[in-house]
Structure 1
């Protein structure tokens, strides 16, 4: 029955559970496009660090949106630029962004493990966001359940395992992540690990977001990608009811093949989007950098433009801080770029906020 705590399979699965031939084409497509995306990113004339900040913020927006948070990328960037007051929704996005960055840093000294999961959860639930009073950084000690607002455990869509079993299930997951005894492709394992994490649902809140952060961290940690920058929340948000439906089918129908096929399709689709994005952004960077150099005609042109690329909603003080130029110099240069319609401002007489819409349009 749905209203009883679920008992997950232990990992790794037997050969009777997964039939790789049912999703072999999807696996080939996903691997091919991930490789193409990484190759294109590494050969880009743009320093990947310039794009990581707004791209990861956009991932944070999409991932929190799946959980019902109503915030846009523009709003988040405006908070960062001191143009808009911070609130719980935007703070959730900043927490998610910080969890990804600090998760990568932690991987240099600790494996993907209970210690890392609890660390990421504490970051995610910091700064008094929703759920910050629900045992941040600790596995749950009480029964939880998943369903529409107002549902009870008897009417829930899914009831995760009993709380006293969480530690054992997470230990099994941790062992599978770090020392798998199967011969599955890492992308297939990523699909299994994500679904198993969501099924165990070890925290009282934030499980979906931690589970989605786990995907790029796992792929990065296992050398599938060069940086934890392959995010599928945008694709999952578009098909979120299919996402939840296939997850539930792994539980109540033991249908892992359909879930893995769906997951691989998401990886391939997002990689293709990323490829298109990188190609378009490469063209934009080359084109607008030349325009900026022709307008400014100074050695600071590249550093000014790189700063705008990294922070497409900004004030003079942000550019001055990133370039180490004086604020009057930055103000004069930005005024010229605005005159040439490369950037736009809110036209305030003091403390203007500038927008680099050419990049924002591609990020949205």
Structure 2
């Protein structure tokens, strides 16, 4: 007998569903770590926007990896630098990146809402990737199900709500996001919101990715973070089978405490990694900028190094454009940096690709 479609509770959850004492320590620690990360970003010597492009691309890699797409950050950066041919797997990552940027941009004029979800979904499913024929930008009108690759409705591990109920459940979620009626901390709320979005599973494809984009967008909209740049996909991908099991336990066992504790632990893990990254990158930036300035006596060197932090895999054309430096001048500077082992190239005579491994090693 096939499992029946699940019927979620509307939000806010009844008070008895959640016992904050069970994860109070994790909640305090998660808030402290996010605050540390925000203060560090505000006081970094490296302009924080420089890292946004590679960090967002890495988030896109990690989030699509959860869905089974196997692409490395280097491969995506090579395609972005036009030194590698694109393929559908890389395009899925680039679509996620573009959907994330779309969401950030649209937050200036839209609340977190159905309109925002559907706009991001159109971008996520564009350019003929897997799922591009599955109603992009529209909530589903047929039943879907979740389980291991090749499963059927009979063997699914989870069957989301019936399609005719999706609009009502999404309306309830949207109302909770923008007008919550409980007293929970925002980190608890975002755990509930992410789980509820995945439980409703409003689209035929791409629900996990849109649901993970929702995390930084929500925290930014509630001013928990100063910019929507706190991503959880890497921490969730590390324990993805636990991630899926605990999500299912909120549905069939009503165990929200276990899920929220896991989610807060993922925040702590990711914040620690982010803090470590920023500290290391700060030191690297200072060291390599000073070294480059000692080798090249020009005010354009800082612009070049800043551009390399935004695009750590690049060609002369892509980096000269990003740094606003003439290609001939840029080529001369890059030759000096390569001779001194600050950057490395693939050695090609034409259309040479350069790699800033000092930064890539810290991002990977």
Scaled by the length of structure 2, the TM-score of the pair is 0.99
Alignment of 1:270-285 (within 5 A): 270-285=270-285
Alignment of 1:181-200 (within 5 A): 181-200=181-200
**What is the alpha-carbon distance in structure 2 between the residues aligned to residue 323 and residue 64 of structure 1?**
30
State the Cα distance separating 1:2 from its structure 2 match.
7.5
Runs of at least 5 residues in structure 2 that lack an aligned partner in the other structure? none
Q: Calculate the aligned-residue CA RMSD, in Å.
A: 0.8
Question: What secondary structure, in the 3-state scheme, does the structure 2 residue paired with 1:16 have?
Answer: helix
> Is contact 1:2-1:157 (8 Å) kept?
no
Question: What secondary structure, in the 3-state scheme, does the structure 1 residue paired with 2:153 have?
Answer: coil
**What is the alpha-carbon distance in structure 2 between the residues aligned to residue 125 and residue 293 of structure 1?**
44
Stretches (4+) displaced over 3 A: none
Alignment-derived partner of residue 145 in structure 1:
145
State the Cα distance separating 1:294 from its structure 2 match.
0.3
Alignment-derived partner of residue 73 in structure 1:
73
Question: What secondary structure, in the 3-state scheme, does the structure 2 residue paired with 1:79 have?
Answer: helix
Alignment-derived partner of residue 354 in structure 2:
354
**What is the alpha-carbon distance in structure 2 between the residues aligned to residue 73 and residue 319 of structure 1?**
18
**What is the alpha-carbon distance in structure 2 between the residues aligned to residue 330 and residue 95 of structure 1?**
30
Q: Indicate how the Cα distance of structure 1 residues 2 and 56 shifts in structure 2: closer, same or farther if over 3 A, else same.
A: farther
Alignment-derived partner of residue 363 in structure 2:
363
**What is the alpha-carbon distance in structure 2 between the residues aligned to residue 329 and residue 78 of structure 1?**
22
**What is the alpha-carbon distance in structure 2 between the residues aligned to residue 115 and residue 54 of structure 1?**
28
Alignment of 1:254-265 (within 5 A): 254-265=254-265
State the Cα distance separating 1:324 from its structure 2 match.
2.2
Please state if 1:249 is matched with 2:249: yes
Q: Indicate how the Cα distance of structure 1 residues 2 and 231 shifts in structure 2: closer, same or farther if over 3 A, else same.
A: farther
CA deviations 1:179-204 (Å, max 9, x no partner) are 00101000000000000000000000
Alignment-derived partner of residue 336 in structure 2:
336
CA deviations 1:306-329 (Å, max 9, x no partner) are 111110000111121122221111
Alignment-derived partner of residue 293 in structure 2:
293
Runs of at least 5 residues in structure 1 that lack an aligned partner in the other structure? none
CA deviations 1:14-44 (Å, max 9, x no partner) are 1110111111000001000000001001110
Out of 316-325 and 28-37, give the one that drifted further. 316-325
State the Cα distance separating 1:154 from its structure 2 match.
1.4
Alignment-derived partner of residue 229 in structure 2:
229
